[in-house]
Structure 1
Amino acid sequence: MHANSTLILVALAGALGVATAAPAAENRISPEIESVTVTHQGESVTIARGHDREATLPEEFRKTDRGCPPFCVQPMVAVPGVETIGELELLDYLRRIEQGDDSILVVDSRTPDWVLRGTIPGSVNIPWNTISRDNAGTFETPTEADTFRHVLADTFAAEPLAEGGWDFGEAKTLVLFCNGIWCPQSTANIKNLVEIGYPLHKLKWYRGGMQDWVSVGLTTVAP
């Protein structure tokens, strides 16, 4: 490994608040990162990797053929200007939240039936269809439109303007994910939020989603 690469890894480990000692025999997240502790629904949860070298993917993530549409392979970039991130970057956002940074929100965009099977510790579930409009850019019912406005104002901290539209100056940085690279739910949310003016730099996309998360043995929690 080049010296520069080593320095970058050590710096990231320091940012995550974990020890940078020599790797132990157990299954670490990376050579420098053993685990990251977060709060999920009021409980402390340690994100680590499993120790069963014979472990396999959960059944719901073993399928390879799902049918497109709707389960089409997603592009590497959901929207130009929106950063696509991986596991270590997501862990860093979770660490920042744990340290009191309330300007960040990690959003599980999946429907509740999927969340019941497990989610990323420290995330909050906001089903994709509560913040996604139809092809005409409208909601089917006034209730759905009200839900959308409440999510923007109460959860994402956007400010409604008297003349219409939104002020996103104090809005949270959203890190969105769903089931994986074949799942269009978080992609749809990102596109919809960009269309209403959500700042590109305040949107992050964990493209790998739950399938990548469990494929490397990282901790999940059920509600």
Structure 2
Amino acid sequence: MTHKIILICTTVLMFFSVQAWSAENSKNDLKVKITDDLTGITVKHNGKTVTIERNQDQANTIAEDFALTSRACPPFCIQPMDLLPGVKTIGELEMLDFLKRKAAGEPILIIDSRTSDWVEKGTIPSAINIPWTKLFPQSSTYEPLEVEGILTLQFGASVSDNIWDFGSAKTLVFFCNGPWCGQSPTNIKALVNMGYPAHKIHWYRGGMQAWNALGLTTVQP
């Protein structure tokens, strides 16, 4: 009996060792990595596990929705690199770091500021959608009570006697369609005007255009 138990345990250990070896080798076999030592990261999106990595088809091209170079300005004007004092502009590697930290449990929200018609075409895994129309006071869909709910229930701020406390508010990372898109800048400016600390806000200026151009994983909501 003892020999049988030892044999079973040895077989199980060998199985998992082979699985781990195969997984590691499959990672090493990837020809298109994110960096020299990073093949991908794993996050949760709507309760499902998603691995963010780059498209392995080296003949792949950018999606048609992001191939246009000359949208009319206004409204599709090139955004500045520095949006507001204190708000940090980030690139893809920084976005991936925020995604990893969020997956590890840090109080971080990745926010897609686009309207639903754009989000339906694909978004960054683990992002939530808060369209610019929700936070912009001049928008026809702006509702103060809904904004208060977003700030308290989702962002972790608190309010008492109309005085906001952002001491425990989450770190927010915004993005939209790209350097020509004003949707995430509108959200960011609205929040800063409300008193949200600029140092708790980060902006992925490249947005979905840059994300797609690098062949990074997207998901549909």
Which structure 1 residue ranges, 5 or more long, are not aligned?
1-18
Instruction: Give the percent of matched residue pairs that are identical in Structure 1 and Structure 2.
Output: 51
The secondary structure found in structure 2 opposite 1:39 is: strand
Contact map agreement 1:27 1:49 (CA 8 A) in 2: yes
Structure having the larger proportion of residues in helix:
2
Separation (CA, whole Å) in 2 of partners of 1:25 and 1:168:
43
Moved more, 91-100 or 208-217: 91-100
RMSD over aligned CA atoms reads 1.7
Separation (CA, whole Å) in 1 of partners of 2:154 and 2:30:
41
Separation (CA, whole Å) in 2 of partners of 1:120 and 1:71:
21
Separation (CA, whole Å) in 2 of partners of 1:31 and 1:54:
20
Pairs within 5 Å for 1:42-191: 42-101=47-106, 103-134=107-138, 144-162=143-161, 164-191=162-189
Contact map agreement 1:23 1:31 (CA 8 A) in 2: no
Letter in 2 for 1:97: K
Separation (CA, whole Å) in 2 of partners of 1:165 and 1:213:
38
Separation (CA, whole Å) in 2 of partners of 1:149 and 1:25:
45
Separation (CA, whole Å) in 2 of partners of 1:49 and 1:98:
19
Q: Which TM-score applies when normalising by structure 2?
A: 0.85
Query: 1:165: Cα distance to partner?
Result: 3.1
Show CA shifts across 1:105-144 (max 9, x none): 000000111010000001111111101122xxxx657x71
Letter in 2 for 1:148: V
Contact map agreement 2:30 2:39 (CA 8 A) in 1: no
Q: Which TM-score applies when normalising by structure 1?
A: 0.84
The secondary structure found in structure 1 opposite 2:51 is: strand
Which structure 2 residue ranges, 5 or more long, are not aligned?
1-23
Letter in 2 for 1:210: M
Instruction: Tell me whether 1:35 sits opposite 2:48 in the alignment.
Output: no
Separation (CA, whole Å) in 2 of partners of 1:32 and 1:219:
18
Query: 1:24: Cα distance to partner?
Result: 4.8
**Where does structure 1 differ by over 3 angstroms across 4 or more consecutive aligned residues?**
22-25
Paired residues in the alignment total 196
Q: Which has the larger radius of gyration?
A: 2
Separation (CA, whole Å) in 1 of partners of 2:220 and 2:135:
23
The secondary structure found in structure 2 opposite 1:105 is: strand
Contact map agreement 1:23 1:32 (CA 8 A) in 2: no
